[in-house]
């Protein structure tokens, strides 16, 4: 009889172990308390209890199926990382690399909370339309509809993960990938939301997370170890189509610092480091995370705008069945 799994990691241990120090631990900086660093084993962080649990039609809950399936992808990742570090040809591993990156984009709280926030706003927009049509009564004054909390069953965002993974296909089709080897003394950071992309033609302060123009410039960053990173770019597309995934070096501390700034502000709740020394950049972006704002106008017509921005992370309300 299989044992129910309780600790469901959204950042897999197989990934985090590439960032451990000599003691087998990582440094976790929580954005809510950036000056309070946790020096922990990868097994004890970046998980939620029953995060992938699903209700069964006949009753009860399946706590293992998704966790077991994800493990089949995670278990092969350390071998890919080893090949990256040794600068080996990786074209026979491209499917594994694409699958791992896509899964890591879709499974994290940053993505699932965004889905639930979008659903909650859609519910409010529907109610607003029904109020104007006289199908339901408006909230009593001075209460406003936009002030009413709407929570979404987390099971719904589990279903949405497949859609988020499929949406990575068009993103990947716009870019080529390269493995960047960090030759500086400044290690790469990672986070609880390690897959990020943006429009590099827009100034840093004006960029929006996961927002690019159709067929426009795009950069994707995925830290693999403190000294290896997968870089996707439309500039690499033709080379990638001709030669596949190649290796390159970076010797610029300034470039590594800019990468760490992106990683820090794309981080949702936590930034992860192999060693102390990057507290300044972590602290600089501790007050912002990517999240989904929505605009709702009730008096005339609902206008729902879904666009991720960098800002204070909204507090997620607990779902009560």
Q: Are 256 and 221 in contact (CB under 8 A)?
A: no
Tokens for 42? 């990868």
* Start-end of H helices in the chain: 13-16, 65-74, 77-85, 94-106, 109-132, 154-172, 237-243, 253-266, 279-284
Dihedral, 170, 173, 179, 184 alpha carbons, nearest 10: -60
- Nearest-CA neighbor of 108 among 36, 34, 196? 196
For the full predicted model, state whether its pTM sits above 0.85: yes
Q: What are phi and psi of 311, to 5 degrees?
A: -170, -175
60: alpha, beta or left, given left = phi > 0 and alpha = psi -120 to 50? left
DSSP state of 223: E
pLDDT in 10s for each residue of the chain, 321 residues:
458 888 999 999 999 999 999 999 999 999 999 999 999 999 999 999 999 998 888 888 889 999 999 999 999 999 999 999 999 999 999 999 999 999 999 999 999 999 998 888 888 878 877 887 888 888 887 777 777 788 888 888 999 999 999 999 999 999 999 999 999 999 999 999 999 999 999 999 999 999 999 999 999 999 999 999 999 999 999 999 999 999 999 999 999 999 999 999 999 999 999 999 999 999 999 999 998 776 555 455 555 666 789 999 988 878 877
Whether 231 and 219 have beta carbons less than 8 Å apart is answered as yes
pLDDT for res 130: 84
Three state DSSP letters for 4-23: CCCEEECCCHHHHHHHCCCC
Between CA 190 and CA 291 the distance in angstroms is 18
What are 229's two structure tokens?
A: 């990173």
Which pLDDT score is estimated for 1? 45
């Amino acid at each position: 009889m299989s044992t129910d799994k309780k600790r469901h990691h959204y950042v897999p241990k197989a990934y985090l172990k590439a960032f451990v120090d000599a003691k087998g631990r990582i440094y976790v900086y929580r954005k809510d308390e950036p000056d309070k660093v946790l020096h922990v084993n990868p097994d004890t962080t970046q998980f939620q209890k029953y995060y992938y649990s699903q209700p069964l039609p006949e009753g009860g809950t399946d706590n293992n199926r998704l966790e077991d399936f994800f493990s089949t992808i995670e278990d092969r990742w350390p071998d890919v990382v080893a090949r990256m570090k040794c600068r080996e040809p990786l074209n026979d591993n491209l499917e594994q690399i694409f699958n791992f990156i896509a899964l890591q984009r879709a499974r994290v709280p940053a993505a699932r909370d965004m889905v639930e926030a979008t659903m909650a706003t859609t519910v409010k927009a529907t109610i607003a339309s029904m109020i104007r049509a006289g199908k339901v009564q408006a909230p009593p004054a001075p209460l406003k509809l936009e002030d009413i909390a709407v929570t979404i069953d987390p099971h719904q965002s589990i279903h949405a993960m497949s859609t988020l993974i499929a949406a990575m296909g068009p993103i990947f089709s716009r870019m080529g990938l390269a493995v960047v080897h960090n030759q500086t003394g400044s290690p790469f950071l990672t986070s609880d939301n390690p897959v990020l992309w943006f429009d590099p033609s827009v100034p840093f302060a004006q960029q929006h997370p996961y927002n690019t123009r159709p067929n426009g410039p795009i950069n994707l960053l995925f830290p693999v170890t403190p000294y290896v990173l997968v870089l996707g770019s439309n500039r690499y597309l033709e080379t990638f189509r001709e030669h596949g995934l190649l290796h390159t070096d970076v010797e610029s501390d300034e470039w590594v610092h800019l990468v760490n700034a992106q990683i820090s502000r794309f981080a949702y709740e936590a930034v992860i480091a192999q060693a102390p020394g990057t507290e300044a950049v972590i602290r600089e972006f501790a007050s912002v995370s990517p999240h989904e704002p929505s605009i709702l106008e009730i008096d005339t017509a609902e206008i729902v705008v879904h666009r991720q921005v960098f800002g204070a992370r909204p507090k997620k309300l607990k779902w009560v069945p």
